[in-house]
Amino acid sequence: MAVEEADLRDREVWAGVARYWYNKAADKSPNVGRIQHHLAVLARPNILQQTFFYTKSLICKQPFLNTRESIMLLFNPILDPTESAHRESGRPHHLPVMTSFVSAHGTMFTHGFIPTFIKFGDDFIAYLENQIGRVGSKWREQGVQIASANFASILEYGNPDGILMRILSEFIQSGDSATSRLHKAREYWADLAINYNKKQLPDLSIQALSETAKFTSSLDILSYATYFTFYVQSLVLKHIGDKNVLPHVHFSLAFLWSLALVPKAMMYVQAEVPWEKLVFFLNTLNPQGVNESRLQSDSFPLPDSGAANQLPEDFAMRGQVWNLYHPVDFFSDTSIDDEERSLELPSIAVPRTERCLWLAHRLASFNCWIAYDKSQGKFSLTEFGLELENRAKNFSIFDRRSRTVSPEHEDSEMVDAEPEAQVKPSIQ
């Protein structure tokens, strides 16, 4: 790639070769953030993919700390006001929906101004509705990458002194078995569901904002990242019957289930989860072909013989520090070619629906936020879940104006590409 500056087609060929081998390396060492960093470099000029891989690199079980420098080569040109000069140079520029999303993360990552973050987040939310409908099946991958980056922000991009990172670190170091973790979580949430009025629940923060208010504390970042993440999720959940949003929902449910097994962590974010919209979405899923007996079991729902165990989004969450969802040996079979992993065959629809419903049943088994009525075959909101809905603050931050942006605001000639950065990150 380094010597093919003149011919972009040849450069892309070598980028494809490199991606192939780095993905092979990821199969051998799925927890190593350095490999995700290299994949981020190779993702140029796709700024959403870069954000996904860079942020994943920072929250892998073995994070690659040099990513904190490399990621600035993505954020700086986008956050720089002089970037508008590139628009006059004839170079391709990005879709506003992607620019606003990456800018929101760049502002938070660099501890910038909170009102600036809210503006970028608000812009992204305004474009989001059209984006999901406009790109169709492409949203399956984009939705997963957006969810992953948002969850990375809740973990403060792997900052070891961050609130949830400290809690997760302590939890992992405890060395409890999966069975023990589940038993302890069930006891904790059963008690909370009954006695929540008597307990002190952690409260996220909303600053009295001024134009100069910055992200100065771990709680600031956790709070606004959580507000943004779950507001985005609430909008995705409105797309009832759209199979293209299911990977995002599956990824999000896996995150919620993993946090539910770490009660101290879940306590911080539970009030912002759009539980009511989630219940409504789950009740509209088509259960045809789903194995009901697997839904009732705590055992991970492996498909019938002959079907692939992994869904495309499983590989996106693989290796992330928060992931307590997959069985230990779930990725032991790495014979599936990298290109085949991203294929969306019609046969994927039932296993993906089953996974979403299985995760929902696991959350409902705590009888804390949502419940499941077997006789009616429906999920519902618990009394505590309704209480959390009333506590939610994200609406007061981002629900400021109409979310309808007409298609003409999105230039169909724009590409998801970035101008060449003057400093190129090393791929060594």
- How many residues appear in the chain? 428
Q: Could you give the residue ranges of the DSSP H alpha helices within 203-291? A: 218-236, 246-260, 263-269, 275-282
**pLDDT tens digits for the chain (428 residues)?**
667 667 778 888 888 888 889 988 988 999 999 999 999 999 988 999 999 999 999 999 999 999 999 999 999 999 987 754 554 444 557 899 999 999 999 999 999 999 999 999 999 999 998 999 899 999 999 999 999 999 999 999 999 999 999 999 999 998 889 999 999 999 999 999 999 988 888 889 887 678 889 999 999 999 999 999 999 999 999 999 999 999 999 999 999 999 999 999 999 999 999 999 999 999 999 988 898 999 999 999 987 765 668 899 999 999 999 999 999 888 876 556 666 666 667 678 899 999 999 999 999 999 999 999 999 999 999 999 999 998 888 777 887 543 344 444 444 434 454 433 333 333 33
Question: Nearest CA to 290 among 344, 349, 234, 367?
Answer: 349
Question: Nearest CA to 226 among 185, 201, 186, 256?
Answer: 256
Question: Nearest CA to 158 among 252, 289, 62?
Answer: 62
No. of H helices and E strands in the chain? Answer: 21, 2
Q: Could you give the residue ranges of the DSSP H alpha helices within 136-216? A: 139-154, 163-173, 178-195
User: Is 291 buried (19+), middle (13-18) or exposed (0-12) by CB count in 10 A?
Assistant: middle
3 state SS for 347-367: HHHHHHHHHHHHHHHHHHCCC
pTM for this prediction: 0.90
To 5 degrees, how large is the angle CA 92–CA 96–CA 100?
Answer: 120
Unique residue bearing structure tokens 């991203």: 342
3 state SS for 34-84: HHHHHHHHHCCCCHHHHHHHHHHHHCECECCCCHHHHCHHHHHHHHCHHHH
Q: Which amino acid is at 343?
A: L
Distance CA 85, CA 241 (A): 42
Provide the token pair at 121: 């987040």
